[in-house]
Amino acid sequence: MGVSRSELDTEGFLAKVETSSKIHVKENFSGEAWASFVERLAYLKVDVTQPDDFAALGDLVKARKETDNVVIYLSTAPKFFAQACETLLRSV
């Protein structure tokens, strides 16, 4: 899952991930592996100060954790970290 404040849609996010993957994986990049990987990706625009945004994220996490492992990495300003953790916990 990609989550950011950026005005980006899922297609734009996937394009960025694919480009980056091709650069870093280089000759090991496989269209077949990419097709399998891309099915697991999603993107949401979330503002850490907006609880409603976290409700949408919580719904996505709940849906994904039924079938996939979910890893959440928060790269946010320290002043928002505790709020983001608490709001995310209430959302899932």
Angle at 20 between CA 18 and CA 22, to 5 degrees: 70
Whole-angstrom distance, CA of residue 57 vs CA of residue 45: 9
Q: Which two tokens stand for residue 76?
A: 């946010």
The average pLDDT across 72-79 equals 82
**Average pLDDT score over the chain:** 85
Question: What's the pLDDT at 19?
Answer: 93
Q: What is the pLDDT of residue 55?
A: 86
Mean pLDDT over 17-41 rounds to 89
Indicate the domain borders of the chain. Answer: 1-45, 48-92
* pLDDT reported for residue 23: 93
Q: Determine the pLDDT at residue 79.
A: 92
The reported pLDDT for the residue numbered 15 is 93
Express each pLDDT in 41-57 by its tens digit.
888 888 888 888 888 88
